[in-house]
Amino acid sequence: MAMLEVEDLNVRFYTEDGVVKATNDLSYQIEAGERFGVVGESGAGKSVTSLAVMRLIEEPGVIESGSIRFKGRDLLELSAEEMREIRGNEISMIFQDAETALNPAYTVGEQIAEAVRLHLDMGEEAARERTIELLDSVGIPDPVERYSDYPHQFSGGMQQRAVIAMALSCDPELIIADEPTTALDVTIEAQILELLEDVTEEFDTAIQLITHDLGVVAEFCDRVMVMYAGHPVEMAPVENIYYDPQHPYTVGLMSSIPRIGDERDRLDTIPGRMPDLIEMPSGCNFHPRCPYAEQGCTRTEPRLVDVSSGQPADTDAHLQHSAACLAHTGELTGGLDYTVTVDGQESGGAAQAGGGDE
């Protein structure tokens, strides 16, 4: 049994314009101590997925069906009180924007100490000491002094460190990090990623890392799920995703990033944009943008299948490489025509997927 098991999750938002299908039959698992990446562009359903795990979906959104089991307990069956126990204690969250995650009216130390007091049932003095330890462990210099600083006195990177300290305060087993470094400068991003790597290793914490940045995923994650329009389109250990992508969308994403040392004059692009989640294209949602789309793709919705056998994907099999494309069930007559080249490090390039339709 994996630590987190999400099964057939369907989240819907009932808006005036229609029903937004934010996630569709989404299933995935995270093992204890694993670093699981969720990748996709805006509107792919990444953040909704993590909010659903925390049961933080708000009106007009609802979790329509599916189950989310954490260590065997279905989170969707818990009372609000029980869920609050889980949040912070066992699963905690780091948001993109640290500045809004911190309350500007309280000092950074007080906010973390409050979480410690509430969840760990500590007295004030003990909570203060634990907080100073935490601030120190996330690399905040002069933690005693900075305890009484207000959030605005912290730089962006320091604020994110404080948020990480808060997320760690109760020694959770799973941290959901939603674009934790997107708002930061690249030198600060490197610091924060290193910190997350250290603390998750030290406390053997699992991480669900949500990001649009393929570089961050390659660096940080063990396993990756690529999402498109509320669907998982590909899931595999990180090396497979980068060196042997099996979904045209993943290939398109990889070849559209500019890289230092690559000599291409033009970047490959994915034409068009993510569909409106209210009126999704029929069949495969990606077909209007896919260079390999055929008639069949407009009619048949591909299932997530094991790429080698073509059999339905098994979420229990963590080393499986699965993708949702008709090419893997033999229903695509033309097949996928692209090549992946992995350059040596000397030339400065690495895995680079080129579209093969030119």
Least distance from other proteins to the Cβ atom of residue 57, Å: 23
Binding mask 18-57 for other proteins (x = CB under 8 A): -----------------------xx---------------
Residues forming beta bridges with residue 93, ordered by sequence position:
176
Q: Does 254 bind other proteins (CB under 8 A)?
A: yes
Q: Does 238 bind other proteins (CB under 8 A)?
A: yes
Tokens standing for residue 163: 């948020």
How many residues of this chain interact with other proteins, rule: CB under 8 A? 55
Q: Does 145 bind other proteins (CB under 8 A)?
A: yes
Least distance from other proteins to the Cβ atom of residue 141, Å: 8
Find the part of the chain contacting other proteins (CB under 8 A) among 21-29, 72-80, 209-217, 327-335.
209-217
- Residues 6 or more apart whose CB falls under 8 angstroms from that of 323 comprise 233, 234, 235, 236, 246, 247, 250, 304, 305, 307
In whole angstroms, what is the distance from residue 214 CA to residue 217 CA?
5
Q: Does 345 bind other proteins (CB under 8 A)?
A: yes
Q: Does 228 bind other proteins (CB under 8 A)?
A: no
Q: Which is nearer to other proteins, 119 or 289 (CB)?
A: 289
Binding mask 263-302 for other proteins (x = CB under 8 A): --xxxxxxx-xx----------------------------
Q: Which is nearer to other proteins, 133 or 316 (CB)?
A: 133
Least distance from other proteins to the Cβ atom of residue 246, Å: 16
Least distance from other proteins to the Cβ atom of residue 351, Å: 5
In whole angstroms, what is the distance from residue 241 CA to residue 226 CA?
9
Find the part of the chain contacting other proteins (CB under 8 A) among 24-32, 52-60, 142-150, 166-174.
142-150
Q: Does 357 bind other proteins (CB under 8 A)?
A: no
In whole angstroms, what is the distance from residue 212 CA to residue 139 CA?
26
Strands 339-342 and 351-354, how do they pair? Answer: antiparallel
Least distance from other proteins to the Cβ atom of residue 173, Å: 24
Q: What is the C-alpha end-to-end distance of the chain, expressed in Å?
A: 46
Of the candidates 65, 100, 155, 295, which one interacts with other proteins according to CB under 8 A?
155
Taking alpha carbons only, the member of 73, 31, 315, 57 closest to residue 173 is 31
Question: At CB < 8 A and 24+ separation, what contacts does 140-144 make?
Answer: 140/165
Strands (E), the chain: 4-15, 18-30, 35-39, 61-70, 73-74, 91-94, 174-178, 206-211, 223-228, 231-237, 305-306, 322-323, 339-342, 351-354
Of the candidates 18, 60, 261, 310, which one interacts with other proteins according to CB under 8 A?
261
Question: Is there a cis peptide before residue 271, judged by omega within 30 degrees of 0?
Answer: no
In whole angstroms, what is the distance from residue 46 CA to residue 226 CA?
9
Q: Which residues form the interface with other proteins (CB under 8 A)?
A: 41-42, 142, 144-145, 155-158, 185-191, 193-194, 212-220, 238-239, 242-243, 252-254, 256-262, 265-271, 273-274, 342, 345, 348, 350-351
